[in-house]
Amino acid sequence: METPNFSFLIRPLSTEEFRDKYWLQQHLHLQRDPEDYYDRLLNLDDIDTLLENENLPPSLFRLIKEGDQPTRDNYSGSKKYERTNEIIADNQKLFGYLNQGYTIEIYLAQRIIPKFTRFFDGLIGELPMRHTAKLFVTPPGTWALEAHMDQMEVFVCQLHGTKTWSLYDWPIKSPTEDQRSQFKEYTQNLEDKPAHQMTLTPGDLLYVPAGMIHKARTNDEFSVQISIGFYTNRWSDLLKNMAGEFAQAEVFRSPLPDGLLNPMDPKAFERSFKQAVKEMIDNTDIQAYLSSFNFDPEKYPYPDLRGVFKDILLVDKIRPETVVARRQLPDLSMTRQNGMLEISVQSKKSTFPKLLAPAIERLLDDRPVAIGSIQQNIADEMKIELARKFIRFGWLRIEQL
């Protein structure tokens, strides 16, 4: 079965119809009859499996009830995760808050639920923007957040139960974070007279453009929804990137007119400045700057953990002929010093004798390789042991056993 993509999200609309009529322009509510429409992405069993995990950090959660947010200490446990020494969330406390009417908001849903990860990875390939996904589990008859606006374009997928959404004013489109903060008081004093109101049922989609003020409330049953947010790349982002290069140019390091030591007629300065900016822009490769906003999976800040479990089960069967390839490794660095090679991936560090550096560097470059071919002056047993270690770390995947 084909992995769902963006067209699955907005069906029955076409991408062209959504783009021309709704994207950045107005909200959209799609009602769908199949209650299990999103089961291919995520369902209650997936969430139940996630919350059975007793090794989740408190930073993965936020608890909210009508604006009240307990600190993480209130739902942290006494245990620590052995590898990182990080405190582990107390799931019983989380469920206790849920029973008291608090919404459980779960961050990084796109990385911790494998089935949803596959969909999300395809989605961000189609929409190369900064992104986030959050899961909301809200008890009956309550709400989590006051009326507010988001800086991102939001797609809400209703998985279970119902939720009534109120959409209010749209005072500013595509706000920056500073502008969003400036409108906080405005949203708090907003009269409770929504311009649009709709109730989402399982299978429904709601698109809320950035800057549109909104609030949501559950009805007589629990609501479960996934919220997918995209931060559009803006003209202002392009200007910020270009400004860094402009600042290095000699003309823009000139002092501003400030009287006695740097005299200049204000009108003459204005003409000179505008001319310098124009010449700089005329000589700038705008397309190169635009390409810098393209999504690059290698820069995605989360490790690729798909298939790690199966690879670990097969690790004792690998041979010199086995072909392995490096997984996506955020912040991978290798440093040679004092006769040792230090490898760092996120917070995990390991050291190896420098003698093994050629073999390790070949295993961890971006090309698949047969284990037996990585370095001629060490025994196959040593090569296999290195590969096994890196497979168990989640650094390598088995391409061909």
Tens digit of pLDDT for each residue in 44-78? 999 998 888 888 888 899 999 999 999 999 999 87
Instruction: Order the strands of the 214-218 sheet from edge to edge.
Output: 196-200, 163-167, 214-218
Tokens (6 digits) for 164: 């009534």
Alpha-carbon span 229 to 233, nearest angstrom: 13
pLDDT at 184 over 80: no
- Spatial contact of 54 and 88, defined as CB atoms under 8 Å apart: yes
Alpha-carbon span 142 to 364, nearest angstrom: 50
Rounded mean pLDDT, 1-18: 87
Rounded mean pLDDT, 174-201: 85
Longest Cα pair distance anywhere in the chain, in angstroms? 80
Question: Phi first, then psi: what are they for 9, rounded to 5°?
Answer: -65, -40
Residue type at 134?
A: K
Tokens (6 digits) for 289: 């700057």
Tell me the DSSP string of 187-251: HHT--S--SEEEEE-TT-EEEE-TT--EEEEE-SS-EEEEEEEEE---HHHHHHHHHHHHTTSGG
Rounded mean pLDDT, 199-218: 96
pLDDT for the residue numbered 181: 81
pLDDT category, 211, cuts 50, 70, 90?
very high
Q: Which whole-number Å values give the CA distances from 54 to 87, 135, 226, in the listed order? A: 11, 18, 22
More confident residue, 339 or 36: 36
CA 231 to chain centre: 10
Tokens (6 digits) for 139: 């008890």
CA 367 to chain centre: 26
Rounded mean pLDDT, 179-205: 86
pLDDT for the residue numbered 346: 67
Rounded mean pLDDT, 351-355: 85
Alpha-carbon span 379 to 367, nearest angstrom: 21
Considering only CA atoms, which of 52, 55, 51, 50 is closest in space to residue 82? 55
Q: What's the topology of domain 308-400? A: Outer Surface Protein A; domain 3 (3.90.930)
Considering only CA atoms, which of 389, 391, 240, 385 is closest in space to residue 326? 391
- Spatial contact of 400 and 370, defined as CB atoms under 8 Å apart: no
- Is residue 247 exposed (0-12), middle (13-18) or buried (19+ Cβ within 10 Å)? exposed
Strand partners, 326: 396
pLDDT for the residue numbered 208: 97
Alpha-carbon span 124 to 238, nearest angstrom: 20
User: pTM score, two decimals?
Assistant: 0.74
Instruction: Order the strands of the 333-337 sheet from edge to edge.
Output: 333-337, 340-345, 348-353
pLDDT at 363 over 60: yes
| pLDDT one-digit tens code per residue, 269-306 | 999 999 999 999 999 999 888 887 765 555 555 556 66
Considering only CA atoms, which of 166, 183, 165 is closest in space to residue 174? 183
Alpha-carbon span 147 to 187, nearest angstrom: 6
Domain boundaries, the chain: 6-231, 235-291, 308-400
Rounded mean pLDDT, 147-168: 95
Q: Which CATH architecture has domain 6-231?
A: Sandwich (2.60)
Kindly give, in sequence order, each residue whose CB lies less than 8 Å from that of residue 320, ignoring residues fewer than 6 positions away: 370, 371, 372, 380, 383, 384
Alpha-carbon span 372 to 321, nearest angstrom: 6
Alpha-carbon span 388 to 60, nearest angstrom: 30
317: alpha, beta or left, given left = phi > 0 and alpha = psi -120 to 50? alpha
| pLDDT one-digit tens code per residue, 81-138 | 555 567 889 999 999 999 999 999 998 888 788 788 888 878 877 887 888 899 999 9
